[in-house]
Amino acid sequence: MNPNNENTISLETAQDWTQRWRTQYPENSKAYLIPAVDLIEVLNEMKILSDTAAAEAQQNASDNALDVRAYMAIEMQKNGATLEKVILVGTKKGKDGVYRDIINGTIDAKSAGLEDGSSSGLYDVTAPCPPFCDDNSPLY
């Protein structure tokens, strides 16, 4: 599971960035829950996952009540500028119906039973728009 920890950030960094967002935008949404099956559909549509692999992944996500949370964040750059970010983290639905974050292989300091915890489980995989926009998109 992500053996090179590409795009992972530490819990401390994620806490700093998300706190900065909450301070800057106290009335805005803090995060969004994204169905894992939807992300899998996007990867399948892009031909990153085959139909068979996508179907298996969707079944696994559904069977294990796994989704993804996207936290809004702000990174403070070395030059003092800020950069808006999105931090992704896996979640698992608890018996109470709440999707709990999986951080460092744990949920609320207990093993999530999903990985060995070799990475933080926190991913900064974003590039903001602007400047990384599709000016021709009907959504832009």
Rg of the Cα trace of the chain?
Answer: 16
| Percent of residues in the chain assigned helix, strand, coil, to nearest 5 | 25, 30, 45
Determine the pLDDT at residue 125: 82
What integer pLDDT is reported at residue 56 of this predicted model? 97
* Torsion over CA: 105, 23, 98, 70 (sign): negative
- pLDDT tens, residue by residue, 52-106: 999 999 999 999 999 999 999 999 999 999 999 999 999 999 999 999 999 988 8
Per-residue confidence (pLDDT) for residue 128, from 0 to 100: 86
Phi, psi of 121 (to 5 degrees): 80, 5
Distances (CA, A) of 78 to 44, 60, 98, 103, 123: 38, 41, 37, 26, 20
Q: Helix 51-63 vs helix 36-45: angle between axes, to the nearest 10 degrees?
A: 180
How many CB atoms are located within 10 Å of the residue 107 CB?
A: 19
